[in-house]
Structure 1
Amino acid sequence: MKLMHTLLATSLAIAIAGQAQAAVSATEASKLGTELTLLGAEMAGNADGSIPAYAGGLTAAPAGFKTGDTKRPDPFADDQPVQVIDGKNADQYQGMLTATTVELLKRFPSYRLDVYPTHRSVVLPQAVLNNTLKNATDAKSIEGGQAIENALPGAPFPIPQSGAEAMWNHLLRYQGVNVEAKYDSWNVDSAGVPTLATTGMAYINYASYNDVTKLVQGQDTFYQIKLLYTEPARRAGEAILVRDAANPLVQARRAWQYLPGVRRVKLAPSLAYDTPNPGSAGAATYDDAFVFLGALDRYEWKLVGKQEMYVPYNTYKLTYLSDPQALTTPNYLNPDLVRWEKHRVWVVEATLKEGYRHIYHKRRFYLDEDSWVALASDQYDARGQLYRGSFAFLSQSYDQQVPDATPHMIYDLVGGSYNITGLVGPYGGIKYSQPLSKSQWSPESLAGTGIR
């Protein structure tokens, strides 16, 4: 009898896990475009006016920008800080700073946040917003939130009902369609010494946006990236290709790697989860990329709610900086080059499932309400101690209607080091390019492009 009860309970659990999470009602969805933007952000400003109402975002390029340029002038260069947060006054901002930010302020008296006027600069193409409106009542999360179905390219869940749905909004956020950039990744050790981890060429295809009229199916690739490393000399010639699908239970991450020493392309299933990422010289995991990138299956996801936070935003000065060594100062990024603003963010908490392994036992993510970009995270170890913390640096590519957060970083609060990657400024910035051919996206192409 006990065996029968166990089998029934297991069958019921599997059935529940496979059920779809219902979309929101038409009544709830009617808030989109009225109380809420079509992407799900609150249209109104906050009570004291420090967060303005959404007024359509940044739709015009500043003077000095030439059509076709990939290095975008800062439209807010004349702004002055409205406040400075440091270790002396940090207690006044309880609940508005990430745990990592608080820890840095506590450790380093010279660390500070220069807070600038808030600009809600995000703009997306109308087709993406129209799809998001349809998704509100049509898209569903399935397999206990691990996958999605019936979603058009756009935010699948503009009014999220769970933490997993909010994270899918981040994973499927609009970042353009085809992007390429040469970039640097730098490590700064506990002694304050900066070292080039890698220089590489990145080609990214946000494949779900190849055809905005087509539903994203479970086995469909929604994201693929091809990285070709050129520096330092010991890494030159290495290459990887990674693809993620909308239902990782139907189609798990596929990855391939080319190493010049063996002169062949091989499958690399370990390029996921908490495997140390060689692109950061091991300072970050593969799922730390862009604050979070990968499957949701190892965690339980809780939607904590929305709150006002101080986060990096409109970081044109950092994104297009020509000299990385001006940024990579000891202990923390140079505060002179990081712009902070007050924004509303969705807070999502991830707790490692029993029986699963990951170096982070708990993670807390902060997702921008206007773009669904994960702007920051705090990562905790199995003892519950703060281990690492990440930030992404968002700036609107105003000529392309794209919110870009290519530069991102991670602090190791145990080892006292940090890494920042996606520094495109030395090489001219982000290019929104023509698509690569099918053959250029094949694993076999890595061997041809990865020769020293």
Structure 2
Amino acid sequence: MKPIRLLLTACTMTLMASSVIAAVSEEEAAKLGTSLTPVGAEKAGNTEGSIPAWTGGLKADAAPVQNGFMGDPYAAEKPLFVITAANVEQYKDKLTPGQQAMFKRYPDTYKMPVYKTQRSAVMPQSAYDAAKKSALTTEAVNEGYSLKNFDQIHYFAFPIPKTGLQVVWNHLTRYRGHNYINTQVQATPQVNGDFTPVHIEMASGFPWIMKDAKPQDTSNILFFVKQTVTAPARMAGNVTLIHETLDQVAEPRMAWAYNAGQRRVRRAPQVAYDGPGTASDGLRVADNADMYNGAPDRYDWKLVGKKEIYIPYNSYKLQSPSLKYKDIIQPGHINQDLTRYELHRVWEVQGTLKSGARHIYAKRHMFFDEDTWTAVEIDHYDGRGQLWRVSEGHTYTDYVQQLTAFAGIATYDLMAGRYVVSNLGNENKKGIDYAYQPSVNDFTPAALRNAGIR
């Protein structure tokens, strides 16, 4: 019996070892770049032909670039149709509950111009290679809320996901390009549309492409972010610093805040979960930024599956430098004439707040673009089960940097009749600066005081 027991033990250990090494089999990972795109989307189009096959995305010269702002490769296209409150029932099977609620809340003004589907997503080969490696090596531990064997890979933890949580991880670890710095504008218009733009300088650094980052010190860092409010004057000089960690169970997000009025740097544990969002007038919380961010450990995540819906896409018109913020920001919602929706396949995930956990959102209904893993639609429900807030992320492909960015993110409060819109940059002198070369020292608490000097 002893040899048999030893053999069984050896087999068990072998299986355990293989489960640590491989998230999916070699055979399944081989689909990446063949039947699947290099990051895990279905390469083929749909049977109706309304979603085309992915053929590699936009080329670097897809349209003229103006001071870092992408030109519109599809400027000549006209909407196939426009969804309004009058015809919304005809299209409801391809709309999220939140989108349908927006038509009910704003029946006279909310609309969705739907264009031909263009699978424009493109990324560099390094991101595709990372996805392939992730598929074979990355594993979720601590009930799925932490990543193992990922610190040297950096992108797309689970390109062939098996669970809802793995889909969420793909959004959190999606390809974002190089270190960058830019000024984003956020606004919280009143019911009548009046608003004061808040200018926030955003600086982001990724340790694996920062020259002075030491792997032994930054192995658990996904990225650094520093937010400096530069206007209006009453808020200028306030700075928030975030060290986003990979394993937020073992090492929670680290955040610090510099208050210009007090001239003090303090730890800021509230910059997480449902802590108040920066300059948001109570209309969003910390983990509404980037559509969704931070540790996913307060929710149970259910993978509903994939479906086809109309989502914001190729939003070049919305990011155009020819627009003023007043052209975009209107009562109730952003100017929907400037938006573009397309039919795309998405991953549908539901997050339900765990028993005993605290968050103002009891449920999150999330939709992720299959070609980029970016969250593009999220419905937020309160503790009574009522739909409360609706978030839409208007994305576009930066075909020069080969990444997906937001032209704007809007979170609508259906009950208050107000919204917060962020990630706008139309009136900037230039677009996002990806030539930014920060030092690790730029993202230390000691650097906050200097960053906040008015």
TM-score (norm 1): 0.91
Q: Match for residue 16 of structure 1?
A: none
For these two proteins, the number of residue pairs brought into alignment is 430
In the alignment, the residues of structure 2 paired with residue 324 and residue 252 of structure 1 have an alpha-carbon distance, to the nearest angstrom, of 36
Contact preservation (8 Å) 1:72, 1:397: yes
Q: Match for residue 435 of structure 1?
A: 437
Q: Match for residue 447 of structure 1?
A: 449
1:162-211, CA deviations, whole angstroms, 9 ceiling, x for partnerless residues?
1111111100100112111112101122x222312521211012445659
Structure 1: gaps (5+ residues): 1-18
Q: Match for residue 165 of structure 2?
A: 164
Post-superposition, which runs of at least 4 consecutive aligned residues in structure 1 deviate over 6 A? 19-22, 214-218
In the alignment, the residues of structure 2 paired with residue 298 and residue 216 of structure 1 have an alpha-carbon distance, to the nearest angstrom, of 29
List aligned pairs for 1:210-225, cutoff 5 A: 220-225=220-225
Q: Match for residue 201 of structure 1?
A: 201
Q: Shift of residue 28 of structure 1?
A: 1.8
Structure 2: gaps (5+ residues): 1-18
Pair 1:90 & 2:88 matched:
yes
List aligned pairs for 1:69-84, cutoff 5 A: 69-84=67-82
In the alignment, the residues of structure 1 paired with residue 21 and residue 331 of structure 2 have an alpha-carbon distance, to the nearest angstrom, of 47
Q: Match for residue 28 of structure 2?
A: 28
In the alignment, the residues of structure 1 paired with residue 315 and residue 156 of structure 2 have an alpha-carbon distance, to the nearest angstrom, of 23
Pair 1:263 & 2:263 matched:
yes
Question: More displaced, 375-384 or 95-104?
Answer: 95-104
List aligned pairs for 1:17-166, cutoff 5 A: 23-65=23-65, 69-110=67-108, 111-151=110-150, 152-166=153-167
In the alignment, the residues of structure 1 paired with residue 117 and residue 447 of structure 2 have an alpha-carbon distance, to the nearest angstrom, of 44
In the alignment, the residues of structure 1 paired with residue 216 and residue 417 of structure 2 have an alpha-carbon distance, to the nearest angstrom, of 41
Q: What SS is found at the alignment partner of 1:354?
A: coil
Question: More displaced, 376-385 or 216-225?
Answer: 216-225
In the alignment, the residues of structure 1 paired with residue 209 and residue 353 of structure 2 have an alpha-carbon distance, to the nearest angstrom, of 31
Q: Match for residue 280 of structure 1?
A: 280
Contact preservation (8 Å) 2:179, 2:209: no
In the alignment, the residues of structure 1 paired with residue 186 and residue 270 of structure 2 have an alpha-carbon distance, to the nearest angstrom, of 21
Q: Match for residue 9 of structure 2?
A: none
Q: Match for residue 316 of structure 1?
A: 316
In the alignment, the residues of structure 2 paired with residue 210 and residue 237 of structure 1 have an alpha-carbon distance, to the nearest angstrom, of 26
TM-score (norm 2): 0.90
Q: Shift of residue 218 of structure 1?
A: 9.4
Q: Shift of residue 258 of structure 1?
A: 0.5
Q: Match for residue 406 of structure 2?
A: 405
In the alignment, the residues of structure 2 paired with residue 435 and residue 383 of structure 1 have an alpha-carbon distance, to the nearest angstrom, of 47
Question: More displaced, 57-66 or 282-291?
Answer: 57-66
In the alignment, the residues of structure 2 paired with residue 205 and residue 450 of structure 1 have an alpha-carbon distance, to the nearest angstrom, of 18
Contact preservation (8 Å) 1:219, 1:247: no
Say if 1:96 and 1:121 are closer, same or farther in 2 by CA, change over 3 A. same
In the alignment, the residues of structure 2 paired with residue 445 and residue 120 of structure 1 have an alpha-carbon distance, to the nearest angstrom, of 41
In the alignment, the residues of structure 2 paired with residue 386 and residue 22 of structure 1 have an alpha-carbon distance, to the nearest angstrom, of 39
Percent identical residues: 39
Q: What is the RMSD computed on CA atoms of the aligned residues?
A: 2.1
Q: 2:107 corresponds to which letter in structure 1? A: P
Q: What SS is found at the alignment partner of 1:426?
A: coil
1:278-318, CA deviations, whole angstroms, 9 ceiling, x for partnerless residues?
33233210000011011011000111111101010000111
In the alignment, the residues of structure 1 paired with residue 348 and residue 258 of structure 2 have an alpha-carbon distance, to the nearest angstrom, of 38
Say if 1:96 and 1:137 are closer, same or farther in 2 by CA, change over 3 A. same
In the alignment, the residues of structure 2 paired with residue 368 and residue 143 of structure 1 have an alpha-carbon distance, to the nearest angstrom, of 27
Q: Match for residue 3 of structure 1?
A: none
Q: Shift of residue 61 of structure 1?
A: 2.3
Q: Shift of residue 21 of structure 1?
A: 10
Say if 1:20 and 1:351 are closer, same or farther in 2 by CA, change over 3 A. farther
In the alignment, the residues of structure 1 paired with residue 238 and residue 103 of structure 2 have an alpha-carbon distance, to the nearest angstrom, of 38
Q: Shift of residue 22 of structure 1?
A: 6.3
In the alignment, the residues of structure 1 paired with residue 21 and residue 144 of structure 2 have an alpha-carbon distance, to the nearest angstrom, of 8
In the alignment, the residues of structure 2 paired with residue 348 and residue 197 of structure 1 have an alpha-carbon distance, to the nearest angstrom, of 33
Say if 1:40 and 1:209 are closer, same or farther in 2 by CA, change over 3 A. farther
In the alignment, the residues of structure 1 paired with residue 188 and residue 281 of structure 2 have an alpha-carbon distance, to the nearest angstrom, of 8
1:311-330, CA deviations, whole angstroms, 9 ceiling, x for partnerless residues?
10000111234301111111
In the alignment, the residues of structure 1 paired with residue 216 and residue 346 of structure 2 have an alpha-carbon distance, to the nearest angstrom, of 26
